[in-house]
Structure formats: C-alpha cells, structure tokens
Amino acid sequence: MLIIGERINSTRKSIGAAVKAHDTDFIRQEALSQAAAGAHFLDCNGAVVGVEAEPETLAWLVQTCQEATGLPCAIDSPNPGAMEAALAVHQGQPFINSITAEREKFARILPLIKQYRAKVVALCLDDRGIPQTLEARTQAADFLVTNLTAAGVPLDDIYLDPLVFPVSTNGEAGKQVLETIRYVRATYPGVHTTCGLSNVSYGLPVRKLLNQAFLVLCLGAGLDCVIADPTDPALMALLYAGEALLGRDEYCANYLAMARQGKLEQRQE
C-alpha cells in the first residue's frame, strides 16, 4: 500500500498559517512526523496564499519537505503554474495531484505529466460535474485510462481516484467508492486506485473511527494507495493488519516488522 501523507494541506488552519508565514521549522516537523509514521509521499498544498503567490509558495513547500525527509511529494494544486513551479524543483519522481476527465483541465495537465514523467492522481470527474452514480465514475475512469495511456503514460503511473464524498450527505457515497475500486481492478489490471480517505467522515463525530473503518473496506475492495493521515496509529495498524489478511504482505513481513517496532499497539485517546 502506497501512503500519501495528507497533513501538509493549507486548508488545515495550522498548516495554512505556517504556509502564509513560510514557517520552515513548522513544515519540517509536519513532514518529519509523517515520514516517521510510514508515509511514502508527502502531499503539498499551498493554495491558501492565492493564485499569484502560489507558484513560489508551493515550490518552497516541496523543497522544505524534501530537504527534511528525502521523500518525494504529491504536488496538490488546481493551478498549473504553481504545479509547474513545484515540479521544476522536485527531486525524483513526483505525483501530480491531480488530473480529471474534464477536457480543458486534461489538456492543461497532460503535458506536465509527460514532461516530468510523474505519477498522477486521476479524479473520476468529467465535464458533467460531480459524479452522482457509479456509471458516471466508471465513464470518467474509462476516459482517463484510455487517453492517458494513448499519450504514453504507463499504467503503473496512473492512480484513479473514485472521489470520496461525506456519508453525512449521501448514504451511498462510501458504497459507490468501493464499487468503483472493484470496477477498476477488474477492467484495468495494472492501473492503481487511490482516494482521499478522510473526506468520507466530514461533518460527523469521531471521524477517525469512520476513516479507519472505511480504510478496511477499501482495502478489501482492492485499494492500493491512500491519501490519509499516517500519524494516526490505529489507522496504520489496521492498514498493516488488512494487508496481511488479504495476502498482500508476503510471510506477514511488514506486519511483523511493525509489531517489533511497537506500532501495532492500540492506543486509547
């Protein structure tokens, strides 16, 4: 399971303040805590500063995170200019977060994917707007896989995101994500799936419990990458346990390693 640490997102109050202030020490500590908890990539979002300031800010975020941890980053922005500025300073293979099946956005972002040979989060969203059905998601997925591969993007670099919406506003939201993951697994062997896990619990109490339960369900459906908070020890313990039970951890090697490090103990908050 590939883990993209979600915490360096400027929509979070503390991160937003640190981004606006260019508080290098604060961002470094956030990056280091996620790296120590098991993140493989660090999502970097600096949109809080506005369109004009975002290119310089996002490049600073990426450089700060990589200097602190050595980990690659997921460049998270709807602004192609900011995305390109961050990609230009990134070391190693980055993630682009994200492209969609919206024709105009697809045409803007595809050249960056190809130029920087990036992995890409591909949202199952097209010009019809927010998908309300499984069919809308799978049609967007079909467009994305067909057109990305036609442009030379390797299957292994494509991470389809079914789009997670809160179950507080749509009781079918979680189920539709699971069905989309199963569809991708069956239809496009070699293509990956990912999701922004914590969106599912928005507006509800005890959000961590819902996030943890949803992760287990997504693992069972075939999810192989997650955008989540790796500093949640219970979430990570369930991830390692789930992979062991699903036969995705040969000889339970990762599970045993985490147990030896004391990372599987359930803690009460």
pLDDT per residue as tens digits for the range 36-91: 999 999 999 999 999 999 999 999 999 999 999 999 999 999 999 999 999 999 99
Domain holding 65: CATH number?
A: 3.20.20.20
Is 33 domain-assigned? Answer: yes
Strand locations in 110-161 (E): 119-123, 158-161
Structure confidence at residue 269 as a pLDDT band (50, 70, 90) = very low
Return the minimum-mean-pLDDT range out of 31-40, 147-156, 259-268: 259-268
Which amino acid does the sequence have at 2? L
| Domain total of the chain | 1
Radius of gyration of the chain (CA): 18
Residue 268 confidence (pLDDT) = 45
Is 201 domain-assigned? Answer: no
Is 43 domain-assigned? Answer: yes
Mean pLDDT of the chain: 96
Sign of CA dihedral 51, 55, 56, 59: positive
Could you give the percent of the chain with pLDDT greater than 70?
A: 99
Q: What is the domain extent for residue 183? A: 2-195
Is 135 domain-assigned? Answer: yes
Is 228 domain-assigned? Answer: no
Is 27 domain-assigned? Answer: yes
Is 266 domain-assigned? Answer: no
pLDDT tens sequence across 213-226: 999 999 999 999 99
Residue 265 confidence (pLDDT) = 78
| DSSP state string for 28-50 | HHHHHHHHHHT-SEEEEB-GGG-
Is 234 domain-assigned? Answer: no
